[in-house]
Amino acid sequence: MKKLKGIGLLLIANVLIFITLSITFTILSEVVLPAFGIDLRGSFAQQDLLWAFVIGFGGAFISLAFSKQMARAFIDCTQVTQPRTPAERMVYETVQKISGRLNISMPEVWIYESPDPNAFATGPTKNNSMVAVSTGLLNNLNEGEVRAVLAHEMGHVYNGDMFTTTVLAGLMNTFVYFISRMVYRQMAERNAALGFAVYIFLQIILSVLAMIPISWWSRRREFAADRFAANTVGKEHMISALQGIDRWVQRTQFEYSTQDALATMKISGQTRSFMQIFSTHPPIDDRVAALRQL
């Protein structure tokens, strides 16, 4: 029942967003702009807005629905169902214990080959998710620290962060498609080839800009997951885990901003620079400071 209620609320929210945008652009194109001598009524077609809405949210939710399959396709991973080593047993039992305490279905547990200490959670719902940790995480952190990282990822699962991020991504995608299409209509009337070129250019530029609010939201959710881990296993373990990851980065002198294309999506976050606005994780120093204030 709760699941159906959540889906219903999501659909209602999406419909309200569409109606609001439709009314707003209708008033803008039919009343406000003509009053100032700007007649763009031919370009604001509601079917374009509907199409953008369907593509924007449809694409985002299709990605969410297949997020586990896509994650497994891009990493060299092994699912843990019957732990064979002490490390596998510790990871499996930690996830099992936390999910039982939260009264949610146990996520799939995966371990993947990667030298850097990292972990992630994904899946369409909190009762249909996966948690994956790297071999680098198991090799570089102690048991308490690994448990803290696992609790952090379980915080993402329980809080439904993948779902809420998908809703935000769908909204951003809708604006990207709609604005690009709107400009294309104007340009195509004069030059079809130029209009198409501008359309593709806007798709790329606006998609990049759309990552800024999405990444900002993701960073906020990282702080929330840290708090969840602190409440679950103790903040000192989470602080120690973050510091251990930071030491590994410093020790290996990994230039994330230039050598690792996925650096902005990893636990280590991004160094303080302009590119930080595209980082899904806050700087480790900020996270440690926030944990210490709890």
**The domain spanning residue 133 has which CATH number?**
3.30.2010.10
**Residue 124 located in a structural domain:** yes
Domain of 111 in residue numbering reads as 68-159
Q: Is residue 269 part of a domain?
A: no
For the chain, the domain total comes to 1
The one-digit pLDDT tens for each residue of the chain (294 residues) are 444 444 455 555 555 655 665 566 667 666 776 777 766 555 556 667 777 887 788 888 888 888 899 889 888 899 999 999 999 999 999 999 999 999 999 999 999 999 889 999 999 999 999 999 999 999 999 999 999 999 999 999 999 999 999 989 888 988 888 888 888 878 877 888 888 888 889 888 998 899 999 999 999 999 999 999 999 999 999 999 999 998 888 887 654 444 444 444 455 555 556 678 888 889 999 999 999 998
Q: Is residue 117 part of a domain?
A: yes
| Domain contains 176 | no
Tell me whether residue 75 is in a domain. yes
**Is residue 118 one of the residues assigned to a domain?**
yes
Residue 263 has what pLDDT?
45
Buried b (16+ CB within 10 A) or exposed e, 54-65: ebbbebbbeebe
Give the span between the Cα atoms of 149 and 118, in whole angstroms: 9
pLDDT, residue 7, reads 47
Distances (CA, A) of 121 to 126, 152, 287: 10, 9, 19
What is the pLDDT, as a whole number, of residue 39?
Answer: 64
Residue 45 lies in a domain: no
User: Annotated active-site positions, please?
Assistant: 153
Residue 83 within any structural domain of the chain: yes
What percent of the chain is helix, strand and coil (3-state, nearest 5)? 70, 5, 20
